[in-house]
């Protein structure tokens, strides 16, 4: 082999090595220590319920959700669930998982998010191919909208049949939780107590749906917006109100310009923090 070819191959190998180190994401522990996907997965195998908080338009988070589901399926009886499908669409989702309808049928029967095909269909199809349950956990949006307009009292007007789609009433509610207070700060003049209530009824319903479908000896992997589980609040707060002895874990997704070190503001946000390069493209 000539020196030119050797030099060229060496450059290619070096470029590959550098690129692999200058990756698009980095995983950190809660304390900000770098970790690996393998180490994280190994520790998550011992849990009962995992809340994987995503940035909805982030392709790295969606890809890692699928990879995590695949790895956990190799070692645990697995249940999957997601915020992105509402409880009253479960019948249509089950029909798709069972092969009784195709994707076109699911599109027509369920209220799927606009980014479903790119971001969530791979997860649902993984469940279908492996005959795994996939639970739509979120409150139907029309009921959350009612709460946003007039508060929890609006839910008292629902029929018994409609109340089956939401967490049992009245739900515990602590408006002083830091994530709910953060919503008010973020929304400024547009924030209101009812807005926080609407967030809480989503969190409570997702927690209720998870526990209604959780089975002892299984691992429930749930996908939700990171805000719904960041700082060990939101969904997790409601889960612990009902089943404090289960073993929980959370993953948060954040974005940074520099992945070498986790920013202080993100430390303690979750058991594991998926830090994505801020230059990463979005799915919408």
Range of the domain at 235: 26-277
Residue 189: its pLDDT value, please? Answer: 76
Taking the C-alpha atoms of residue 232 and residue 270, their distance in angstroms, rounded to an integer, is 6
pLDDT of residue 21 exceeding 50, the answer is no
Overall pTM > 0.75: yes
Q: Is 20 inside a domain boundary?
A: no
Q: Is 209 inside a domain boundary?
A: yes
Torsion angle in degrees (nearest 10) through CA of 120, 121, 124, 128: -170
Q: Note the pLDDT tens digit of each residue in 232-279.
A: 999 999 999 999 999 999 999 999 999 999 999 999 999 999 999 999
Closest of 117, 91, 90 to residue 103, by C-alpha: 117
Residue 126 sits in a domain of what CATH number?
3.40.50.11550
Taking the C-alpha atoms of residue 271 and residue 43, their distance in angstroms, rounded to an integer, is 10
Q: Is 2 inside a domain boundary?
A: no
Q: Is 260 inside a domain boundary?
A: yes
Q: Is 182 inside a domain boundary?
A: yes
In Å, how far are 89, 208, 274, 284 from 138, measured between CA atoms?
10, 9, 23, 22
List alpha helices for the chain, DSSP H: 3-21, 37-44, 59-75, 90-97, 103-109, 121-129, 141-150, 160-163, 178-187, 193-213, 235-242
Output the average pLDDT for the chain: 93
DSSP-assigned beta bridge partners for residue 222: 51, 81
pLDDT of residue 8 exceeding 50, the answer is no
Residue 14: its pLDDT value, please? Answer: 36
Q: Is 163 inside a domain boundary?
A: yes
pLDDT of residue 1 exceeding 90, the answer is no
As given in the structure block, the two tokens for residue 176 are 């002083």
Residue 18: its pLDDT value, please? Answer: 36
Number of domains, the chain: 1
Residue with tokens 């699928």: 66
pLDDT tier for residue 23 given thresholds of 50, 70 and 90: confident
Taking the C-alpha atoms of residue 133 and residue 178, their distance in angstroms, rounded to an integer, is 33
Lowest mean pLDDT segment, chosen from 13-17, 112-116, 152-156: 13-17
DSSP-assigned beta bridge partners for residue 220: 49, 79
Report the pLDDT averaged over residues 135-161: 97
Q: Is 85 inside a domain boundary?
A: yes
Q: Note the pLDDT tens digit of each residue in 25-65.
A: 999 999 999 999 999 999 999 999 999 999 999 999 999 99
As given in the structure block, the two tokens for residue 145 are 């909208």
As given in the structure block, the two tokens for residue 24 are 């698009």
pLDDT tier for residue 22 given thresholds of 50, 70 and 90: low
Taking the C-alpha atoms of residue 99 and residue 87, their distance in angstroms, rounded to an integer, is 19
Q: Is 31 inside a domain boundary?
A: yes
């Amino acid at each position: 082999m000539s020196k030119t070819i050797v030099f060229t191959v060496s450059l290619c190998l070096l470029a590959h090595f550098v690129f692999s180190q200058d990756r698009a994401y980095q995983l950190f522990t809660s304390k900000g220590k770098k970790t690996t996907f393998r180490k994280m997965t190994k520790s998550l195998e011992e849990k009962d319920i995992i809340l994987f908080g995503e940035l909805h338009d982030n392709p790295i988070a969606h890809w890692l959700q699928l990879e995590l589901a695949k790895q956990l399926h190799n070692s645990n009886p697995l249940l999957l669930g997601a915020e992105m499908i509402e409880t009253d669409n479960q019948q249509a989702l089950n029909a798709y998982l069972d092969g009784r309808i195709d994707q076109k049928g699911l599109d027509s029967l369920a209220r799927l998010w606009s980014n479903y095909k790119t971001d969530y269909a791979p997860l649902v199809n993984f469940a279908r191919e492996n005959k795994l349950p996939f639970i739509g956990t979120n409150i139907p949006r029309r009921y959350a909208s009612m709460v946003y307009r007039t508060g929890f009292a609006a839910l008292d007007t629902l029929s018994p049949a409609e109340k089956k789609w939401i967490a049992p009433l009245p739900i515990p509610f602590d408006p002083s939780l830091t994530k709910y207070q953060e919503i008010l700060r973020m929304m400024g003049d547009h924030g209101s107590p009812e807005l926080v209530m609407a967030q809480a009824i989503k969190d409570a319903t997702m927690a209720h749906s998870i526990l209604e479908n959780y089975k002892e000896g299984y691992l429930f992997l749930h996908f939700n917006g990171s805000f719904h589980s960041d700082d060990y609040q939101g969904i997790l707060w409601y889960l612990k109100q009902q089943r404090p002895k289960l073993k929980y874990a959370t993953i948060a997704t954040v974005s940074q310009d520099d992945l070498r070190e986790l920013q202080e503001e993100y430390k303690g946000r979750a058991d594991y923090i998926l830090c994505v390069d801020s230059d990463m493209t979005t799915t919408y």
